[in-house]
Structure 1
Amino acid sequence: MPHTNMLAGCLGAVLLAGCAHTIPATEPAPAVDLPAGWSQASQAGSKEWPDSHWWQRFGSDELSQLVREGQESNLELAAALSRVRQAEAQARIAGVALLPAVDAYAGASRDLPLAGHHNANLASSGQLQVSYELDFWGKNAASAAAAEASLRANFYDRQTVALTVTSGIVSTYLQVLSLHDRLEMARENTRTAERVLTLVEAQSSVGAATTVDLARQRSAVASQRAAIPDLLQQEREAQSALAILLGRSPQTFRISDHGLASIHLPQVTAGMPSELLSRRPDIRRSEAMLAAASANVEAARAALFPSIRLTGSTGTQSSALTSLLNAQTLFANVGASLVAPIFDGGRLRTERDLAIEQKQELVQNYRSTVLSALAEVDTVLGQINSLDEQRRLKEVELEQTRVAFNLSEIRYKAGAEDLMTVLDTQRNLSDVQNELGKLKLKRLQATVSLYKALGGGWQAG
């Protein structure tokens, strides 16, 4: 009768297990107040998003090749891929608890005869044992769901790393090209200063220029020349940074020697802010981490309830190998066990409370990530508008500064202008050229930042 009751209890537990609640695959994202549009107007009226190969819009085959190389060889990306594979293994491990466990046992023994005994007994046994924990309260399902959510989080994390690496390659490449331009401008300004120095020396030889004038122009030439070594060092550092992003040795890496004139400035527009939630991998990662935390809460709650385990075994035992498979030697048994926590010093309840608070932390982190993403896009849009206006005004300034320098040089040759005016206009021209070069780079890099802020064309499938 007791065995009958136990069997009935086991069957009832199996039937009720089908009614146990399941863990949702995804956790609904917390509500966040989203604006209807961006405070900074986009460059065009249409609301579009960058595509997955956004770097090609800069019009550089060399850049596209470098991006492909970086996506294949970057060491941070390789490490992120390894983390994804680790998470896949963890998800498989967590899923094992939902399946039965099967163990096989086999053994043999021989009784050796002592003095005066001649018979030896040979015994053997074999057993197959199956055990299964009924996931009545959903603890194992919750643990598996948490592992799957962590896997998604690692996948999104890798997408975030890929986006950061790609934008870093593009931005650093543009910096190298900008330094090529600035080096060429520095060399051109040095040649201009040397030409003026030749003129001053000629006038000094006939008494038309003073020794002070000669010293001032020689100082101007030295100042122009001194700018070149610093720019060369900046160029080397930028190339080294680019090589590291590509997973290459900096000592053997160098890109083509050309400037930003070959780069096309793409026009980027931003879609509606609400769409950003599905286009930023860091936001999707926060959602996945929140889902994992929710599943952990369910697992911690389920741990407070009893666990039910069914076991069954079948096997053979014999005192002789020849009768190992004899039907009379076969045996089987089934059983069920229930383990319920009675006193653990409050550990399980504290673990549940800890899991709840960890989830609440991730809720706030998710909202913070969304707000930061919205602010980032708006800020970059504002930077682009500001840089466009700065460049327009700086180009006007450059044009007028070049006119002023050319006229001052002509007037100095004719003796109608003093050297100080020539030096001032020469210095102004050099400064404006340098500032315009920096603005051009900032504008291109702001475009890269906008691509990154918009998710870089990535979107979860």
Structure 2
Amino acid sequence: MRTHSIRFWSTIALAALGAAGCALKSPPDRASLASEALPNAPAPAAWKAGAAPGSVGDDWIAGFGDPVLNQLVAEALAYNNDLRASAARVEQAAAGVKAAGAQIWPAIDVIGRRGGKMGGDGSGLNGWVISASWEIDLWGRVRYARRSAEDQYASTQADLAAARQSIAALVAKSWFLATEAALQRQLARQMIDTSNQSVKLADQRWRIGASSEVDVVQAQANLKTFVDAERQLDLAYSKSLRSLELLLGRYPGADVKPAASWPRIDMPVGAGVPSELLERRPDIVAAERRVAAAFDRTQEAQAARLPRVSLSAGISSITSEMFVLKDRDNPSASIGAGLIAPLFHGGALLAQVEARKAEQQQAVAAWAQTALKAFNEVETALAEEATLREREPILDAQARDAQKVLDIENSRYRIGSRDLRTVTQQEMSVYAARSTLLRVQAERRVQRVNLLLALGGGFGPGTEIESALQGQEKRP
């Protein structure tokens, strides 16, 4: 009789295993997402703002040809605390995958008991029990939960990749802004020297009677304007260095020494085609994985409305000093199966399905918004870089012309054919032109970083930055 019962439940188990092997439904692919979520924004064949031909490079930091910048980015990727928090979220998601996957396997427990008169328990029961239970995943509920956790893990990995690229971009932009602050301060000091010469010249002319004291006071007022500008630039310089040091995980002591000249940006940037951006940008990939996770949670909620079949088995040995149990010297075993079918839960299960569907729609909308934002960032960066590239030679010529005019006005003032007011006004024009040129030169490099980041450029294998990433992953 026992043999017949074992065969009966074994047949049920085999049938359940066969049913549990059915394929899960696949989440929407990228093409379906684009068709559903971006019906009014199909990706064009090429960027509207125009771009250099070729694919997006893999090592965009090295493209600036600045070894110090490479070292700073590697340092930030190794010690930035925001990245450490992102890495911890990845580890948390990985643990979630393990926990979800464990539900597919049987659960085995052991219980031991020792009782007696001295234990405060008069039953005298002693023994052990080993039990096992296993839910047969007929409708894929458990497997959908596991796959949802896997999708969530993949999204956190993509988020970490996006965070690393963002930190690298912030370091590069902070480095360029610190360089600009240093060059602007240097310019202010040069203008102070020029203004000092004007003060001396005005004083000399006043002493010999060639001009009035008004020229001296005016030259001194102009000098104080440049001195005040230098003080403001000193503060901006130290603030830019402290911001950079925070990204590096250092104490903000303004101890970093910025570059003395601009890094190159003469190399054109290949931008590929817009449709490739959906595959390359890590934030879009993360949003796509969140759509897949929401789809799996929806399927899990739908499967929860269907009956559940579980198998159970146990083996035990129990003795007692108070009463005699049959077969006390031999362990007893059992095997069985259970069926749980939800009949009435007040609409809670259906409401759960509807909530999961709404979450999926929200994830699809978030993916679409992320994709549109990415397209906009690339188009904007391309347009701004083109404009800045055209402006720089214009401003450079303007600054040279302004300096020529200043030299001429200084010569005229020395011979008395011009008053000092014209000279001081031209000094301000030279300073404004050169300062604007430095601002545009810095902005060109900042926009180059924005473009490379918007295109989803990564870190090439074998580089110093990639080595820093590997070291970060090995750190406990």
Note the C-alpha offset of 1:429: 0.4
1:143 to 2:150 alignment: no
Match of 1:408 in 2: 409
The residue correspondences of 1:277-292 to structure 2 (distance < 5 A) are 277-292=278-293
Pairing partner for 1:231 from 233, 240, 251: 233
Assess if the C-alpha contact under 8 Å between 2:61 and 2:459 holds in 1: no
- What TM-score results when the alignment is normalised by the length of structure 1? 0.91
Pairing partner for 1:47 from 28, 45, 54: 54
Secondary structure at the aligned position of 2:19 is classed as coil
The residue correspondences of 1:6-405 to structure 2 (distance < 5 A) are 8=8, 11-12=11-12, 14-20=14-20, 21-23=22-24, 27-29=28-30, 30-31=33-34, 32=38, 33-42=42-51, 44=52, 46-51=53-58, 53-110=59-116, 124-251=126-253, 253-263=254-264, 265-318=266-319, 329-405=330-406
Counterpart-to-counterpart distance in 2, 1:257 and 1:168? 15
Letter in 1 for 2:15: L
Deviates more, 1:28-37 or 1:96-105: 28-37
Assess if the C-alpha contact under 8 Å between 1:160 and 1:281 holds in 2: yes
Assess if the C-alpha contact under 8 Å between 1:163 and 1:452 holds in 2: yes
Give structure 2 stretches of 5+ with no counterpart. Answer: 461-476
Change (3 A) 1:197 1:301: same
Letter in 2 for 1:392: P
Change (3 A) 1:41 1:344: same
Counterpart-to-counterpart distance in 2, 1:458 and 1:35? 27
Counterpart-to-counterpart distance in 2, 1:292 and 1:101? 25
Deviates more, 1:263-272 or 1:155-164: 263-272
Structure 1 vs Structure 2: percent identity of aligned residues? 26
Give structure 1 stretches of 5+ with no counterpart. Answer: 113-119
What number of residue pairs does the alignment pair up? 446
Match of 2:449 in 1: 448
Secondary structure at the aligned position of 1:207 is classed as coil
Note the C-alpha offset of 1:19: 3.0
Assess if the C-alpha contact under 8 Å between 1:23 and 1:295 holds in 2: no
- What TM-score results when the alignment is normalised by the length of structure 2? 0.88
Q: What is the root-mean-square deviation in Å for CA atoms of aligned residues?
A: 2.6
Letter in 1 for 2:50: A
Secondary structure at the aligned position of 1:393 is classed as helix
Counterpart-to-counterpart distance in 2, 1:47 and 1:263? 20
Assess if the C-alpha contact under 8 Å between 2:318 and 2:328 holds in 1: no
Assess if the C-alpha contact under 8 Å between 2:6 and 2:335 holds in 1: no
Letter in 2 for 1:68: A
Deviates more, 1:26-35 or 1:424-433: 26-35
Note the C-alpha offset of 1:50: 2.1
Change (3 A) 1:26 1:163: farther
Q: CA offsets, 1:369-407, max 9 Å, x none?
A: 111111110110000000011112111111111111100
